A = this chain, B = another copy of it.
Amino acid sequence: MSTASGRRRGRPSRAESENGSPGARERILESARAEFARRGYDLASVRAIARGADVTPALVHHYFGTKEQVFAAAVRAAVEVAARAFAAAEPTGPDGFGESFTRLFFGVWENPTTRGPLLALFRSAANNDTAAAIFRGAITDHLLSRVAGALSEPDAELRAELAAMQLVGVVLGRYVLGLEPLASTDAEVLIRRLAPVVQHHFTGPATAF
């Protein structure tokens, strides 16, 4: 691999990039996704992103502007994919919510191309207010709104949040903390375990004692 600092100045000749390898812009995006996913927004550095893309920091700014805009560009695609998945899900009756939501949730988190950006958003949300707001908005818009509309109980929002936080907590343990055996358990097993719990949050009795 050629180091960015060793490369000749100026625009590269077409011969240098005529192979199938992706252009600098794509490489930057890919590196940004990886870096944000590994370290979260604040700890990821434009310089490290540039290094990972074999490029100069100035080029990152040339293509994307500020660090915040790099983050937005890196995360946007995955958030939209997840949002579309939730929006396009065939509507189920209240009895089907549990499994339906659990499956959708693991669908996007087990997908390697969406997991990275979602991890980036997750890690960032723990320390960065802007990222936290995006995360909160994603949950509110794509999860709570659909459920609250279909559920009649007055505590529908709380129910949906408790269900969502069960799933989010599992994501934390599985992908961020690397808790065993949780991290190595087959996703299908987790879905079968969690779907009834999520369903209970949605429609079960509020207390059992």
Contacts and interface: CB of A to CB of B under 8 A. Distances in A.
A127 B40 contact: yes
Contacts of A195: 208-209
A25 to B, nearest CB: 27
A127 B199 contact: no
A138 B38 CA distance: 23
A195 B209 CA distance: 9
A193 to B, nearest CB: 6
A163 B190 CA distance: 12
A2 interface: no
Nearest to A158: B181
Contact of A166 (B99, B123, B176, B197): B197
A208 to B, nearest CB: 4
A178 interface: yes
Q: Which 3 A-B pairs have the closest CB atoms?
A: A169-B169, A126-B126, A165-B169
Interface of A: 39-40, 42-43, 99, 122-123, 125-127, 132, 135-136, 139-140, 157-158, 161-162, 164-170, 172-173, 176-182, 185, 190, 192-197, 199-201, 204, 206-209
6 contacts: A123-B127, A132-B177, A139-B179, A158-B193, A192-B209, A197-B209
